[in-house]
């Protein structure tokens, strides 16, 4: 697995590298201390499976990385590790489809647990942040189903390809071979589909997608 850590503080990068290596020594760590340096990795042919990203850095910020064509077109998984506390900003990055939001005030132990969940293909959002987002949604958002219908449930092109293969009964390994993705990336896409469609498992995901007319 290849992970890019993007933060303008080298000491923080060193700490994250130590934590990630404690999860899996075989992980290949790339690092960037600026958004422009990170964009260089995205522009290159460097193998990447996950990006751990700080939102606020001098010059270009983390959002410029999330808008990069490689991130959008390949659904490269992004995890935000940030001191940001504005619920509107946090909601905007979560709505953009990140795999997780980890506050920088987390202890090493909690950070380790969050990364462990994410590296297993799950989405991590702290309960306190999830509560804030839900409160905003109840105040501002119209009916979720209506929003989902108008935006195709926020499913990306790559996730739609995974969804169709799920519907045909393919395993993660078969999907990875068919789409030339790693199995870990497939797990990320499946988790994102479950979240987008409000499903608790793969079977329910396909059923909801068919009910909503996303697939036949």
CA–CA separation, 65 vs 85, rounded Å? 20
CA–CA separation, 26 vs 10, rounded Å? 21
CATH ID of 144-211, from 1.10.1200.10, 3.90.550.10, 1.10.10.10, 3.30.420.40: 1.10.10.10
At residue 150, the pLDDT reads 32
Q: Which long-range contacts (CB under 8 A, 24 or more apart) does 65-74 make?
A: 65/6, 65/35, 65/38, 65/39, 66/93, 66/96, 66/98, 68/39, 68/42, 70/42, 70/43, 71/42, 72/156, 73/157, 73/158, 74/158
At residue 31, the pLDDT reads 92
At residue 69, the pLDDT reads 77
Percentage of the chain modeled with pLDDT above 90: 9
Q: 27-75, pLDDT tens digit by residue?
A: 889 999 888 888 888 888 788 888 998 888 776 677 777 777 777 777 7
Report the Cα–Cα distance between both ends of the chain, in Å, rounded: 34
At residue 115, the pLDDT reads 87
- Based on the number of CB atoms within 10 Å of its own CB, is 86 exposed (0-12), middle (13-18) or buried (19 or more)? exposed
Contacts of 89 (CB under 8 A, 6+ apart): 55
| CATH 3.40.50.2300 domain residues, the chain | 2-136
**pLDDT tens digit at each of 216 positions of the chain:** 889 999 989 999 999 898 888 888 888 899 998 888 888 888 887 888 889 988 887 766 777 777 777 777 777 888 999 888 777 778 777 777 788 899 988 888 898 899 888 877 778 888 888 777 777 655 554 444 434 433 456 677 888 889 999 988 888 888 988 888 888 788 888 888 888 788 888 888 888 888 888 887
At residue 200, the pLDDT reads 80
Task: State the CATH architecture for 2-136.
Answer: 3-Layer(aba) Sandwich (3.40)
**Dihedral angle computed from the Cα positions of residues 197, 203, 204 and 210, in that order, rounded to the nearest 10 degrees:** 70
- 165 SS3 class: helix
- 216 SS3 class: coil
Contacts of 201 (CB under 8 A, 6+ apart): 194
| CATH 1.10.10.10 domain residues, the chain | 144-211
- How many residues does this entry show for the chain? 216
């Amino acid at each position: 697995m290849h992970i890019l850590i993007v933060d303008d503080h080298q000491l923080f990068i060193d700490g994250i590298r130590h934590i990630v290596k404690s999860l899996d020594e075989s992980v290949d760590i790339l690092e960037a201390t600026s958004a422009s340096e990170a964009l260089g990795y995205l522009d290159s042919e460097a193998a990447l499976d996950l990006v751990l990203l700080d939102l606020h850095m001098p010059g270009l910020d983390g959002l410029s990385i999330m808008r990069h064509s490689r991130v959008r077109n390949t659904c490269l998984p992004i995890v935000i590790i940030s001191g940001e506390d504005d619920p509107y900003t946090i909601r905007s990055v979560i709505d953009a489809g990140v795999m997780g939001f980890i506050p920088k005030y987390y202890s090493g132990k909690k950070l380790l647990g969050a990364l462990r969940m994410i590296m297993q293909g799950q989405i991590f959002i702290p309960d306190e942040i999830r509560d804030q987002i839900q409160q905003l949604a109840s105040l501002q958002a119209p009916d979720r189903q209506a929003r989902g219908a108008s935006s195709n449930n926020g499913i990306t092109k790559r996730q739609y390809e995974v969804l169709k293969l799920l519907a045909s009964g393919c395993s993660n390994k078969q999907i990875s071979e068919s789409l030339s993705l790693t199995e870990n990336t497939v797990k990320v896409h499946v988790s994102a589909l479950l979240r987008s469609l409000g499903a608790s498992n793969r079977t329910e995901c396909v059923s909801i997608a068919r009910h909503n007319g996303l697939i036949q």
